Amino acid sequence: MREPVQKKNPEVVGVTSIYHEHEEWAVNLGDSTVHAKRMPGRFRTLKYITSSLWLFFFFASYVRWEGKQAILLDVNNRQFHFFELTILPQDIWMVSLLLLIMAMTLFAVTSVASRVFCGYFCFQTVWVDMFTWIEGKIEGNPNQRHKLDAAPWDARKIRIKVMKHVIWLAIAIFTGISFTVWFVDAHQYWHDLLHLNLSLMEWATLIAFTLGTYFLAGFMREQVCMWLCPYARIQAVMADSQTILPTYDVKRGEPRGRLRRGAEADSSNAAQGDCIDCFQCVQVCPTGVDIREGQQLGCITCGLCLDACDSVMDKIGRPRGLIRYASLDEIEGRPVKKLYQHPRTFVYLAILLGALGGVVYGLSHLGALTLRVAPERQPLYVTMSDGSIQNKYTFKVLNKTANDLFVNVTAEQGVKGQIIIGAEQPKLVTHGRSTSFTIFVKAPAENIEKEVNPIEFYVKNAEHPDMVAEYTTMFNGPKR
């Protein structure tokens, strides 16, 4: 980690001197690779557990249900299958609520415990963790890795590097495949892939995700979090003084100083804080930041420095928690508010529950038929030769069942004496997509009392009349 650069000339006078503050910023510009140390600990274990949730991404798409892929986002055919459930694009409004739920979950969690997503679940974090784990297995510990990077290219270095990149690429390819098979049938996809017979779109997706994974997780690493990721910025502004996040207890730690022989027995040594300046917290940090500098953009709150510091504290016989999940209030000695005293979190939760309710409502009211009726707008009505008024309607019936079926068209309200023309025979409605047909409604002019009359249309399954969809629209007449 780069040390803060000292001001060259603190005595500079004039307006431009404020720019010298810049020099105190220590920014990881990615000009040298971060080789983080791996240390066991509570948060390391937690990170392995949360990372393993991504196995779902790799393997859940192979679950079959009644001979078909259980979860299939069939974009090509505009159908989304979740076990029994098939969702058609007409119900896609629920996706917006789903996105709202995800956003609000992120917000609520962030307001309570900062960038939990970044530290434990984010694919960038998880994949980088996986890639560096492999790197460690092949190239050795961070010191060996630094040495290898600096060493001249000889046969050994080439062998090691080639092996690492082959494995990285293999993971990247498998990531690309695993992403794609959520959108096409997994069995068919593997068959096509092994026969090199993918469609252009499938090749493009595979290559894009393979290269994306390889470069982002293999080379860009923490730079993605620092310079590319918008969530890092969003989440950072949502943390406040009540939010708990990995924090260095400045009061306890400072003044820091190297451990002197015999000092561990004298824990009441007032001249020196608990921090022995061992840099273990910096060495384990996957983004290469120094947590002791305070809350900062580079911190993804993964807690690995907590593990490192705790292990050191254990060794020197000091209490754990010099670096711990704590709020700014706690560290600065202000009264610590309870979780329920954080109204912002509850606002997030309220929105989350609202959206959740919407999705539950949507899923429980999917229905088998949906009806949309568009009245003709030009002209609104036609005067027929006997003086009666005719309106034209375009029906769009969506059949969400697995079979084609016939529907009857009926109407309620509207105008006394109205006749439905165009639905004398039951209408065929094909499954899986919207079927449209034209219906005319004719009514005697003398019965039309208003310019606009509400009319309620029903389409009923000819065989099962309880399968019905309705739509209310208008019957238009001449000005009165």
Partner 1 sequence: MSEKHNSAGDVKTTGHVWDDDLEDFTNQPPRWWMLGLTASALWVVVYWTMYPGIPVALAGTHFKGLGLPGLSLHLPGTDPKDDGKWSAIKELAQDQAVLDEVRGPYEAKLKTMTPAAILADAQLSEYVARSGKVLFADNCAACHGQNGVGTRQTGAKFAQREQGLMAPILLDDDWLYGGTIDTIHETISGGRQGMMVAHKDTLSVQQIDDVAKYVKAMSEEGGKEKADADPAVAAGMKVFAESDCTACHGADAKGMAAMGSANLTDKVWRFDGSLEGIKQTITYGVNSGDPSSRVAIMPNFVAAGKLSPVEIKKLAVYVFKFGGGKVDAPAAPAVAEGPAAAPAATN
Q: Which of residues 1 and 148 has its CB atom nearest to partner 1 in the complex?
A: 1
Minimum distance of partner 1 from residue 9's CB (angstroms): 9
Query: With CB under 8 A as the contact rule, which of the stretches 118-126, 298-306, 378-386, 398-406 interacts with partner 1?
Result: 378-386
| 143 in contact with partner 1 (CB under 8 A) | no
Measured from the CB of residue 466, what is the shortest distance to partner 1 in angstroms? 27
Residue of the chain from 99, 102, 201, 384 that contacts partner 1 (CB under 8 A): 384
The smaller minimum CB distance to partner 1, of residues 268 and 385, is found at 385
Among 119, 246, 288, 414, binds partner 1 (CB under 8 A): 288
Mark residues 300-339: x for contact with partner 1 by CB under 8 A, - for none.
----------------------------------------
Is residue 479 a contact residue for partner 1 (CB under 8 A)? no
Q: What share of the chain is helix, strand, coil (3-state, %, to 5)?
A: 45, 20, 35
- The phi-psi region of residue 276 (left if phi > 0; otherwise alpha if psi is between -120 and 50; otherwise beta) is alpha
Q: How far apart are CA 56 and CA 71, in angstroms?
A: 12
Residue with smaller CB distance to partner 1, 222 or 330: 222
Cis peptide before 379 (omega within 30 of 0): yes
Count of other CB atoms within 10 angstroms of residue 4:
12
As given in the structure block, the two tokens for residue 412 are 């309620």
For 163-223, give the DSSP string. Answer: HHHHHHHHHHHHHHHHHHTTTS-HHHHHHHHHTT---HHHHHHHHHHHHHHHHIIIIITHH
Query: Is residue 10 at the binding interface for partner 1, with CB under 8 A as the rule?
Result: no
Selected range binding partner 1 among 57-65, 76-84, 145-153, 386-394, rule: CB under 8 A: 386-394
Q: Is 16 in the site for partner 1 (CB under 8 A)?
A: yes
| Residue from the set 185, 254, 277, 376 that interacts with partner 1 by CB under 8 A | 376
Kindly state whether residue 21 participates in binding partner 1, applying the rule CB under 8 A: no
Helix (H, G, I), strand (E, B) or coil at 21: helix
Site for partner 1 in 414-453 (CB under 8 A): 421, 428, 436, 438, 440
Residue 100 vs 445, nearer CB to partner 1:
445
The smaller minimum CB distance to partner 1, of residues 92 and 419, is found at: 419
Query: Which residues are CB-contacts of 345 (< 8 A; sequence separation ≥ 6)?
Result: 108, 111, 112, 339
390 binds partner 1 (CB under 8 A): yes
By beta-carbon proximity to partner 1, the closer residue of 19 and 340 is: 19
Contact status: 32 vs partner 1 (CB under 8 A): yes
Q: What is the CA angle 145-147-153, rounded to 5?
A: 100
From the CB of 104, what's the least distance to partner 1, in Å?
37
Minimum CB distance to partner 1, residue 12 (Å): 8
Q: Which of 255, 387, 402, 480 binds partner 1 (CB under 8 A)?
A: 387
Nearer to partner 1 (CB atom), residue 33 or residue 105: 33
211 binds partner 1 (CB under 8 A): no
**Identified binder of partner 1 from the candidate list 197, 268, 378, 403, rule CB under 8 A:** 378
Interface with partner 1 includes 253 (CB under 8 A)?
A: no
Q: Distance between CA 106 and CA 449 in Å, rounded?
A: 55
Q: Closest CB to partner 1 among 5 and 162?
A: 5
* Least separation in angstroms between CB 28 and partner 1: 7
Minimum CB separation of residue 438 from partner 1 in Å reads 7
CB of 426 to partner 1, least distance (A): 13
- Binder to partner 1 among 354, 357, 367, 379 (CB under 8 A)? 379
Nearest to 241, CA basis, from 327, 136, 157, 319: 327
Cβ at position 442, least distance to partner 1 in Å: 9
Q: What is the dihedral of CA 13, 19, 23, 28, to 10 degrees?
A: 180
CA distance 267 to 277: 16
Total residues at interface with partner 1 (CB under 8 A): 30
The CA distances from residue 250 to 183, 269, 282, 304, in Å, are 50, 16, 16, 18
Pull the structure tokens for residue 153: 């290219």
* d(C-alpha 100, C-alpha 458), whole Å: 33
Which amino acid appears at position 163 of this protein? M
CB atoms within 10 A of CB 47: 22
Which residue in the set 197, 268, 364, 385 belongs to the binding site for partner 1 (CB under 8 A)?
385
Contact (CB, 8 A) for 244 and 301: no
- Strands 427-429 vs 323-327: parallel, antiparallel or unpaired: unpaired
β 389-399/369-375 pair status:
antiparallel
Query: What number of residues does the chain have?
Result: 480
Tell me the closest approach of the beta carbon of residue 441 to partner 1, in angstroms.
10
Residues in the site for partner 1, rule: CB under 8 A? Answer: 1-3, 5, 8, 12, 14, 16, 19, 23, 28, 31-32, 288, 376, 378-379, 382-387, 390, 392, 421, 428, 436, 438, 440
